[in-house]
Chains A and B, each alone.
Chain A
Amino acid sequence: GESVGLHLPTLSVQEGDNSIINCAYSNSASDYFIWYKQESGKGPQFIIDIRSNMDKRQGQRVTVLLNKTVKHLSLQIAATQPGDSAVYFCAENIEETEGNNRLAFGKGNQVVVIP
């Protein structure tokens, strides 16, 4: 079947190395950002989020950095494992009108972990 990763930017990383995935967002008023991981044939899964009043947040083996000046978001994965092979999406929360929020997704980055 078709892969959601087809034609996506691909990061190949050696097992055990660190991975950095980048994302540019569009709306300077966005106040909330999320990274999702999507494995083949599955729905996206939440990894980590960050609000606009922070510039860094750490989880288990993952760190998200937010640079509001240049509207840039990154996800760092420490000690990448084969199970980290997936497509990674960033999403920004956009407030259309008061109380109407929607998540807008980037196109995704494919991460391939080489054993």
Chain B
Amino acid sequence: NAGVTQTPKFRVLKTGQSMTLLCAQDMNHEYMYWYRQDPGMGLRLIHYSVGEGTTAKGEVPDGYNVSRLKKQNFLLGLESAAPSQTSVYFCASSYPHGGLNTEAFFGQGTRLTVV
């Protein structure tokens, strides 16, 4: 049982390049999230999904797109990377229990540097 797995773990991009971050969970969780973490800023929600085929914007969605084609995968795309997107990205998943949300399980993070 791997939990939440993110790939890649590290990446350096040039400004304007595109890339996709992959998140996979093997816990059959309904909800999945993408956060970014910057020094002193805590975790800010980029996009999230409450089920296969659905996505919603979080606090800081600009410059990112997501897709949830399969329940176990949640992809985060950067179409044209900017230095402001240099950050550590975390994926998480959780499951509703009895109609209530429960704790989110996090991946180990992807450190992205845009130069």
Contacts and interface: CB of A to CB of B under 8 A. Distances in A.
| Co-complex (A, B) | yes
Interface of A: 1-8, 31-32, 34, 36, 41-46, 49, 51, 89, 91, 93, 96, 99-108
A103 B100 contact: no
B35 to A, nearest CB: 8
Interface residues of B, number: 33
A44 B106 contact: yes
B111 A1 contact: yes
Contact of B45 (A32, A102, A107): A102
Given A43-B107, A43-B109, A101 B96 contact: yes
A99 B50 contact: yes
**Interface residues of B: mostly helix, strand, loop or mixed?**
strand
Contacts of B74: none
Contacts of B105: 46
A4 B88 contact: yes
B40 A107 contact: yes
A7 B92 CA distance: 25
Contacts of A42: 108-109
What 7 A-B pairs are tightest by C-beta distance, nearest first?
A: A43-B106, A7-B40, A6-B39, A107-B42, A105-B43, A101-B101, A46-B103
Interface string B36-51: 0101111111001010
Contact of B39 (A7, A45, A49): A7
